[in-house]
Copies of this chain bind each other. A is one copy, B any other.
């Protein structure tokens, strides 16, 4: 029996992980750079924590109430106990805010951008490594901090290319909901279970719709699979008060606040929530952020179960076509709010914080849907190799082009088959190929092939329209840079 060759490793990413090539990298980078410039102008400082944390510092759970059991990637370290990859950028912020509490300015405004990891079952479009982009203000209880983040979010969306009118930042407040619960008779210690059910139900309104939520406020709800979820057992009147909260939006901020004041009646916390919303609206007004950009909208309920005060969400209002060809609103691309106890796990002290997270992949998809690609995707000018012995000449050409700021390459594969060189230029999305054979070299010229025009001619039935613009010109070698610039429209 002959020896078997050793089995070769498979060249594959693990399931749920992927690679990003070329413009996928630069488009995202360009978008994040623009967001970072806005955050910088607002006085936020960048923070880059390590990807690896102790499991102890990280905590073993995600903050989102919907998925408390989602896992992290963790392993036992010889010296340090259990280590894990961060699952978001908030848990590391909590650790940093505690670890450096004597050194950091207070309040501490920071932004963070980078990959996070989730040990979840991968699915279509659902990856186990993805980017997050967060901004938080730690150590300020003032609603001015919330208002500031809403304004910054609006500015960031415009900075990346979402036009005014194509987005709206909606603001709500958990305290108003607490007031509404008081009115509905759900306050007090004995009502923990009911309040929990109401919070979880409200938080799922996007998925279940108003009918589903109303069912969960009452007797309960049977889902498609037939499973029954027990409801909060609220009376019709109680449920109406809670549901009234989610539909309290009126034409103006003032009218919305008035409606909320009606709903929360004499509840102290509810009135506080309404005051906060009013204050946020007036602070934003003072900076020129009108309701065309930021609105009070009690219909925003996502995260109300998690946050403790103001909650905000950025929605893109333009329509896209879904996979079935139906138009629908693009929807949410960012969300956040105020939360207590960021560092309490570490220090025992309550530190107020408020912050926003932009959905990097969703916002990128929105920019693509709008035809805004911000990264540099231009292919290089390709200098072909007709004569292997004159490589120094070709590298001289490419050097001149690069000196002039033009992206350019010399073909570095086997030059024998010229067709392969043009195929290569095509794969590189090259706009111009430079060709110099023996004849051209002797007469001191180069041939420039307009590959974009060439591709158009190949596609087009009416050659007529191109006849005035030759797809190929022979120019003096000395004019190489100037002529390439002209062809590139520079």
Contacts and interface: CB of A to CB of B under 8 A. Distances in A.
Given A57-B9, A105-B428, A109-B409, A402 B42 contact: yes
Given A14-B54, A99-B11, A140-B412, A392 B283 contact: yes
A52 B19 CA distance: 11
Contact of A151 (B18, B391, B399, B424): B399
Interface in A134-178: 137, 139-140, 142, 144-145, 147-148, 151, 155
A48 B75 contact: no
Given A40-B407, A52-B129, A424 B105 contact: yes
A140 B395 contact: no
Contacts of A57: 9-13
Given A9-B59, A53-B14, A399-B288, A412 B144 contact: yes
A424 B75 CA distance: 40
A137 B412 contact: yes
Interface string A75-91: 10101100101000000
Contact of A43 (B139, B148, B428): B428
A18 B50 contact: yes
Given A17-B50, A50-B17, A412 B148 contact: yes
A48 B25 contact: yes
Interface in A373-415: 376, 380, 391-393, 395-396, 398-399, 402, 405-410, 412-413
A43 B144 contact: no
Interface stretch (A223-231, A241-249, A316-324, A343-351): A343-351
A115 interface: yes
B8 A345 contact: yes
A120 to B, nearest CB: 11
Contacts of A77: 14
Contact of A54 (B10, B20, B380): B10
Nearest to A112: B25
Interface residues of A, number: 99
A107 interface: yes
Contacts of A140: 412-413
A147 B395 contact: yes
Contacts of A106: 413, 424
A98 interface: yes
B395 A41 contact: no
Contacts of A41: 402, 405-408
B99 A12 contact: yes
A63 to B, nearest CB: 16
Contacts of A115: 51
A56 interface: yes
A410 B451 CA distance: 54
Interface of A: 5, 8-15, 17-22, 24-26, 29, 40-43, 45-54, 56-57, 59, 73-75, 77, 79-80, 83, 85, 95-96, 98-100, 105-107, 109, 115, 117, 128-129, 137, 139-140, 142, 144-145, 147-148, 151, 155, 282-283, 285-288, 343, 345-348, 376, 380, 391-393, 395-396, 398-399, 402, 405-410, 412-413, 424, 427-428
6 contacts: A9-B56, A9-B57, A9-B346, A11-B57, A42-B407, A139-B413
